[in-house]
Amino acid sequence: MKCVICKSPDIQKKIVDEEIKVESDIILVSVEVLVCSNCGERYYDNKTMRQLEETKLKLSTKNLKVQKVGKVFRTKVA
Ligand SMILES: [Zn+2]
């Protein structure tokens, strides 16, 4: 498999933090995906996509335990 963006053959399985937004909160979900080592493009298989959809659904109905790891702030350019 080659990267469709940069044509690099260097694609590896990695655990990444996927961001799921629920209202004004962002929840990080660890998933194993294929990542292009050259440009960082992520490739999701159908199973991972389904899992993320399911996770998003459970999060929006508060049906999944989350752990607080940080805060998100907003500002304007200085
Ligand atoms: Zn690439």
User: Residue 39 pLDDT > 90, yes or no?
Assistant: yes
> Ligand 1 centre and the CA of 15: distance in Å?
17
Neighbours of 28 (CB within 10 A): 14
The Cα 8–Cα 24 span in angstroms is 36
Q: What percent of the chain has pLDDT over 90?
A: 86
Residue 17's pLDDT is 94
Residue 46's pLDDT is 96
> Ligand 1 centre and the CA of 62: distance in Å?
36
pLDDT tens-digit readout, 44-74:
999 999 999 999 999 999 899 999 999 889 9
User: Residue 24 pLDDT > 90, yes or no?
Assistant: no
Of the candidates 33, 39, 32, the one whose C-alpha atom is nearest the C-alpha of residue 8 is 39
Per-residue pLDDT band at 23 (split at 50, 70, 90): confident
Ranges of each domain in the chain: 11-60
> Ligand 1 centre and the CA of 28: distance in Å?
23
Q: Tokens 């805060």 belong to which residue? A: 71
Backbone angles phi, psi at 35, to 5 degrees: -125, 135
Give the 3-state secondary structure of residue 50.
Answer: helix
